[in-house]
Amino acid sequence: MSYIQQSFSVQFEYKVYFTEKIFDPANPCFASFLESRAEKGIRKKLLFIVDEGVTEAHATLQEQIAAYCADLENFELVQDVIVVPGGEAAKNDLQLFYWLVNAIDQHAIDRHSYVVAIGGGSVLDLAGYVAAVSHRGVKHIRIPTTVLSQNDSGVGVKNGINYHGKKNFLGTFAPPAAVFNDAHFLTTLDERDWRSGMIEAVKVALIKDAGFFDWMEAHAQQLTQAEPQSLQYLIRRCAELHMAHIGGKDPFESGSSRPLDFGHWSAHKLEQLTDFELRHGEAVSIGIALDSVYSWIKGMLDEASVMRIINLLKQLRLPLYHPLLEIEDENSAIMAGLEEFREHLGGRLTISLLRAIGKGEEVHEMDAAALAQAVNMLRDKW
């Protein structure tokens, strides 16, 4: 038995820009990025895919895009900006996936063209997946328009759609060409959306950065009113921490360790059980409350810390409990979420819990009785 060894590495780079009113003719941010990617003699195409929630809230957006792109020298806007329904629905409908693939085909978007997706995490996940598998990878630019997508989902390397009701069953790892976080989009978000988006900052502070958690406590008042400066700081720090983690040991998650999924095993199941009536961030808030209280019950986390966490979530008016969380025994619906989580990550069950505020710790089993106790406390005690 002999063999040939293959071995190579692939370098990935992109920037996440912070800007405001990206399609204002006076704002050079987007144009100068594009011109830095221009190639002599080729007019590259730009295919825009936009979240319907965004076009509804920003009625002149399509004209702004058309006017802005008309001034670009080496790029050509595909005339029909494609508007797709926003929210989780975008990830639940395979027809949408093929509709977008067909658009790439029909408009002859090649591997030197760009798909530009504007929207919440759901639309970005869908459009990113479409771009990743068309021609084995068309370049894509993300313009996230929600708190969650600006501080977490939109700045990372993953995409995906749901399949047979399973979250992100189909997807890839595909870094974007660039990300533009435009603060102005956030002004039109529903309260539930901007509020729940903050949970990813709480999450990443809890597992990685105690100082950031302190800052959130100190600014809870401003944050709960979406005071722009505080919200911007939260988004930026949260994005930084996520990106530093991704750029670290295991960008494409070949191992089973997934600290950024703290609080997510039950959250993913709750989203599914509520038929996505719960926002992702709301479900994660409940999941974080659950795993924090569980950490405390199991003696990993001290009481003062768990109370700080519960209090911050309450101050940010994020939920702690949902009736579908109820755990009667090992076979409760939510417990199935543990097995689905294990399966999605592969290998041994690996759950991040808390050792302290700012310090995650992995465990490989969860105790159903202690979980049930935690659920009871979340329902009755706070």
Which runs of consecutive H residues, i.e. helices, occur in 152-198?
191-197
Cα Rg of the chain, angstroms: 21
Give CA 211 to chain center in angstroms.
22
Which of 155, 220, 231, 351 is the binder for a copy of itself (CB under 8 A)? 155
By CB under 8 A, the count of residues binding a copy of itself is 71
Stretch that binds a copy of itself, among 47-55, 156-164, 298-306, 310-318 (CB under 8 A): 156-164
Please give the residues from 195 up to 224 whose contact with ligand NAD meets the rule CB under 6 A: 197
Which of 41, 299, 304, 380 is the binder for a copy of itself (CB under 8 A)? 41
Asked if 91 is part of the footprint of ligand NAD (rule: CB under 6 A), the reply reads yes
Instruction: Round to whole Å and give the CA distance between 153 and 201.
Output: 12
Please give the residues from 180 up to 239 whose contact with a copy of itself meets the rule CB under 8 A: 236, 239
Instruction: Round to whole Å and give the CA distance between 282 and 288.
Output: 10
Which of 53, 87, 120, 171 is the binder for a copy of itself (CB under 8 A)? 171
Instruction: Round to whole Å and give the CA distance between 233 and 225.
Output: 14
3 state DSSP class of 46: strand
Asked if 337 is part of the footprint of ligand NAD (rule: CB under 6 A), the reply reads no
Structure tokens at 126: 């869908």
Site string for ligand NAD, 32-61 (x = CB under 6 A): -------------------xxxx--x----
Asked if 360 is part of the footprint of ligand NAD (rule: CB under 6 A), the reply reads no
Asked if 134 is part of the footprint of a copy of itself (rule: CB under 8 A), the reply reads yes
Which of 23, 81, 152, 325 is the binder for ligand NAD (CB under 6 A)? 152
Query: Which of 41, 199, 36, 22 minimizes the C-alpha distance to 116?
Result: 22
Structure tokens at 303: 């009481």
Site string for a copy of itself, 341-360 (x = CB under 8 A): -xxxxxxx------------
Site string for ligand NAD, 105-124 (x = CB under 6 A): --------------xxxxx-
Instruction: Please identify, using beta-carbon distances, which residue of 135 and 381 lies nearer to ligand NAD.
Output: 135
Which of 29, 77, 81, 88 is the binder for ligand NAD (CB under 6 A)? 88
Helix pair angle (121-133, 94-106), 10° resolution: 50
Is residue 1 exposed (0-12), middle (13-18) or buried (19+ Cβ within 10 Å)?
exposed
Residues 6+ apart with CB under 8 A from 9: none
Asked if 3 is part of the footprint of a copy of itself (rule: CB under 8 A), the reply reads yes
Give CA 88 to chain center in angstroms.
12
Stretch that binds ligand NAD, among 99-107, 143-151, 297-305, 344-352 (CB under 6 A): 143-151
